[in-house]
């Protein structure tokens, strides 16, 4: 392993939540009033801060349901579920990449369920046989540190092609697609929009601009926001949040179109508490849940959304379809292992 990849080692973020309360990566005791409640275990890849907000709202609406949450990055969660396939440990999958959900090995573990309120979600955002549905999603974006760009005399990028210019050599950081759903959506979208032969040629060129590949989808934006790198390839929501908090960055949506991913929910066939698991899944389509999604997510699938002002101020248009690359989720899922093996051979060995 190269020195560059030695620097890339980042511990997996594991967060456990009980009764809708979240603090760091600590498993907390149940709150008063829920000690005797029905309990479910939920696996998710939602980011820690948005997860805490969602669970706080859920606790208010479902005080009789105790939820123990394991939060892992998309790739790590996929590996865990496949390792546990003979004896699944959870009741619900929540906010996890649709391109991972449609893996036939995962689909075998899922029980079809039609939650209350599913009609609010267009058919394109749910499985036709009811195995999963997506209420949220995320889209790729570049986080550009304006002072660092000025200091280094770098031009503002507007496209993927701009990032391969010689002046950006060693100036970028992005998520590792083997562990991060965000990283994989970037790679999959590039291979789809350019075709595989030219896409791999492009990724070879982009690798020259890369200082690190990091395990987390959000950390590249956070690193750029802190001035550690001029540009972090990340996702729009993290850029919007950091801009809103006052970090000196700009969000750039690549002119070729932003790759995106749906965050899907499903019921585990092996669940020992399906009544409460179904209550939870019904809640994910509630008005209360939708209000939370609107605060945090760049993509909300439920119809009739009004784009939050801070999202628009950061540069997200009212109609996000104008900036999204039309992803082929099935292709991304079917070719995932092959693509990741090729990526690791090229850039990790």
pLDDT at 23: 31
Blockwise average pLDDT, block size 10, the chain, 349 residues: 34 36 32 53 93 96 95 91 96 94 94 96 91 95 98 97 97 94 94 97 98 93 98 95 96 96 96 96 96 90 85 90 86 92 92
pLDDT at 235: 94
pTM > 0.85:
no
- Distance (Å, whole) CA 164 – CA 202: 8
pLDDT at 338: 96
Positive or negative, the CA dihedral 106, 107, 112, 117 is positive
- Distance (Å, whole) CA 326 – CA 193: 9
Contact yes or no for 42/67 (Cβ under 8 A): yes
| Structure tokens given for 24 | 């760091």
pLDDT at 22: 36
Cβ burial, residue 294 (10 Å; 0-12/13-18/19+): middle
pLDDT at 232: 98
pLDDT at 253: 97
- Burial of 31-40, coded b for 16+ CB within 10 Å and e otherwise, reads eeebeebbbb
Cβ neighbors of 280 (< 8 A, separation 6 or more) are: 40, 42, 58, 62, 65, 67, 91, 92, 94
| Structure tokens given for 159 | 């496209």
- The CA-based dihedral angle spanning residues 335, 340, 345, 346, taken in that order and rounded to the nearest 10 degrees: 90
Neighbour tally for 322: CB within 10 Å: 9
- Distance (Å, whole) CA 237 – CA 230: 18
How many Cα neighbours within 13 Å face the side chain of 72? 14
Domains with residue ranges and CATH for the chain: 3-137+261-306 (3.40.190.10), 139-259+317-347 (3.40.190.10)
């Amino acid at each position: 392993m190269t020195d560059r990849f030695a620097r890339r080692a980042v511990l997996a973020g594991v967060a456990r939540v009980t009764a809708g309360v979240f603090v760091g990566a600590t498993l907390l005791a149940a709150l008063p009033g829920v000690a005797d409640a029905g309990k479910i275990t939920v696996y998710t890849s939602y980011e820690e801060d948005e997860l805490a907000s969602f669970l706080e709202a859920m606790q208010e609406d479902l005080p009789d349901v105790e939820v123990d949450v394991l939060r892992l990055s998309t790739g790590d969660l996929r590996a865990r579920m496949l390792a546990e396939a003979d004896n699944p440990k959870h009741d619900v999958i929540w906010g996890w990449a649709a391109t991972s959900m449609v893996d036939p090995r995962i689909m075998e573990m899922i029980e079809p369920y039609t939650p209350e309120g599913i009609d609010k979600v267009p058919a394109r955002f749910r499985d036709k046989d009811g195995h999963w549905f997506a209420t949220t999603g995320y889209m790729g974006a570049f986080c550009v540190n304006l002072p660092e760009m000025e200091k280094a005399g770098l031009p503002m990028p507007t496209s993927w092609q701009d990032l391969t210019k010689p002046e950006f050599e060693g100036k970028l950081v992005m998520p590792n697609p083997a562990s991060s759903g965000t990283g994989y959506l970037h790679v999959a979208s590039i291979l789809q929009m350019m075709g595989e032969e030219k896409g791999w040629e492009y990724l070879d060129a982009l690798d020259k601009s890369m200082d690190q590949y990091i395990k987390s989808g959000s950390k590249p934006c956070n690193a750029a926001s802190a001035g550690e790198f001029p540009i972090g390839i990340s996702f729009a929501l993290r850029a919007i949040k950091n801009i809103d908090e006052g970090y000196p960055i700009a969000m750039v949506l690549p002119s070729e179109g932003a790759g995106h991913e749906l965050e899907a929910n499903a019921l585990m066939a092996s669940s020992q508490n399906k009544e409460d698991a179904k209550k939870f899944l019904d809640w994910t389509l509630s008005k209360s849940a939708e209000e939370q999604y609107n605060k945090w997510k760049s993509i909300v699938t439920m119809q009739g959304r009004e784009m939050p002002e801070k999202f628009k101020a950061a540069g997200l248009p009212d109609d996000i379809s104008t900036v999204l690359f039309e992803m082929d989720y099935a292709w991304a899922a079917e070719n995932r292992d092959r693509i990741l093996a090729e990526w690791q051979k090229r850039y990790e060995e």
